[in-house]
Structure formats: structure tokens, C-alpha cells
Amino acid sequence: MNDYDSGAERPIRLGLIVPSSNTTAEPEFREFAPEGTTVHAARMALESVTVDELDEMSHDAVRGGELLGHADVDAVAYACTTGSLLHGPGFDAELEAEIGEAAGVPAIATARSVCRALEALGAERIAVVTPYTADLDAKEREFLEAAGFEVVAIEGRGIEANTEIGALDPSDAREQVLAVAADLEGAVDGALDTSVDAVFVSCTNYRSLDAVAELEAELGVPVVTSNGATLWDLCGHLDTTVDAPGALFAEPSRHV
């Protein structure tokens, strides 16, 4: 996180609502947030990334937005991918509206940010890697396909414990993406041809943003991560440029 002069204009304040066991979103945001911003988080109880716990966690979302409003943040992100797509299309938009009303500032939800990011990149056919179990991968596929994307592959690690997900590092994400790429039809010498428009690395607790530049160079297609899409989208509300890895950050954020 960048230092700022206490005598200068107040820094932009980014609000994050995160699962209590998430140890990645805040560090990645603070690493790549624009100069002159600070990051402030509210937490929702969650230890295992399961349908039942994610569903229960969502009840705390609006309260988190309200509490971040007390800190006079400038925009709020519900920073949980599966938590914002769990109930299918439209749930992400409902979260944005309800949190924004509670916080009194613009609000986004990661699942919807990912869709905005993929649309901004012109991606239609995507490959997805996750740390999740098969049932959550199925829900993610359904959500993305309902949003208009063709999911040509989705591969999870089968992990439930969120602290175990947070212990993964960018090299784990890189290896998982390359393994999926190697299995795809059209993979030639480690690169992907035009049969895939983009790769999405899902989960705000999966440290992967530092792997994006190398992966894009190797694969020849954009690589979007949950935290990357969320940061890009959140700062788009504030007309603030983000200097972070990947083709996404050369695109303007769109809010629909």
C-alpha cells in the first residue's frame, strides 16, 4: 500500500467485503491499488467454501456494506466469486444494488465484475481454473454460460478449506492454467490458438494476479483473475487507472 502525505487531499478509499478466512484479496488489492488509495475491509464468517457456508455468508453482505459506509469509503466490492454467483444470474446484480444502498456509494460484486472484464476483452470462449469442489465448479459453469460465455473447460482443485486455498501461490495458479491449456484441443507448443479467447482464474482467495503477465506471454490470450477483475471494475467507478498485470487493465471498465 502506498504512503500518503497527511496534509494532502484525502486518499481514495476502497472498501472490500471478504470472507473471514480470505487472506489474499486485501494483500493483492494493496499491492496493485492505484497511488493515493487505501483499502479497508469488512468480513463475513466463512471457513469452508461450500454451498451451505457460502449461502449463510451472503446474509452478512449488506451489513458489511453498511459498516464500510461508516468509514466513508468511495466504493465497495463484494469480493467473493462463488458467493456472488451462488444463486444464479441476477443474484450478483441484487448484491450490488443492496450493498450500494447500504454503503451509500457504488458497489460491485466479483461475479459480475468478471463478466464485465470478459466482455471488455471481447471474450466468448473461455477456459476456467478454480480451487473449488466439483459442485461449485458446476454452479460457476452454469452462471458463466447463462451470462453468454462458452466454457470450453473448467478445472478445480477440490479444496473446501478456505485457508488451504489461501496457502496456494501464483506458481500453483500458473501450473494449473498450463495443465488445462495442454489438455485443450488447439493447444500447440504450450500456446492456445483462437479456439479460446481468454482464461479465467477464479476465487478471490487464490493468489494468481502475479502470474498473469507470464501466463499471457506463454498462452497468447488474456488471463483474468477474480481479484484483478474486481479491482479493475471497482476503480472504474472512480475513474482511476490501475497499473496491474494483464491485458484487462488496458481496457476501460464498463458498468451495465
pLDDT tens sequence across 92-148: 999 999 999 999 999 999 999 999 999 999 999 999 999 999 999 999 999 999 999
pLDDT at 2: 43
The pLDDT value given to residue 252? 81
Spatial contact of 39 and 16, defined as CB atoms under 8 Å apart: yes
What are the b/e assignments for 218-245, b being 16+ CB within 10 Å?
A: bbebbbbbbbbbbbbbbbbbbebebebb
C-alpha distances in angstroms, 151 versus 113, 144, 194?
A: 17, 7, 14
Cell (9 digits) for 109: 460484486
Q: Tell me which DSSP letter residue 248 carries.
A: G
By the 8 A CB rule, do 195 and 185 touch? yes
Grid cell in block for residue 87: 444463486
pLDDT at 36: 86
Task: Specify the higher pLDDT residue, 252 or 57.
Answer: 57
Asked if residues 127 and 197 have their Cβ atoms less than 8 Å apart, the reply is no
Q: Higher confidence at residue 228 or residue 252?
A: 228
107-109 and 75-78 beta bridge pairing: parallel
Specify the pTM. Answer: 0.91
b/e sequence 36-56, b meaning 16+ C-beta within 10 Å? ebbbbbbbbebeebbeebbee
State pLDDT tens for residues 175-218: 999 999 988 855 445 555 557 999 999 999 999 999 999 999 99
DSSP 3-state assignment of 105? coil
pLDDT higher than 50, residue 6: no
Strands (E), 33-171: 37-44, 75-78, 107-109, 125-129, 150-155
What whole-number distance in Å separates Cα of residue 198 and Cα of residue 129?
Answer: 11
- Number of Cα atoms under 13 Å in the Cβ half of residue 242: 31
Each residue's pLDDT tens digit, 12-46: 999 999 999 999 999 999 999 998 899 999 999 99
Phi-psi region of 109 (alpha: psi -120 to 50; beta: other; left: phi over 0): beta
Instruction: Return the half-sphere exposure (C-beta side, CA atoms, 13 A cut-off) of residue 246.
Output: 31
Contact (CB, 8 A) for 211 and 176: no
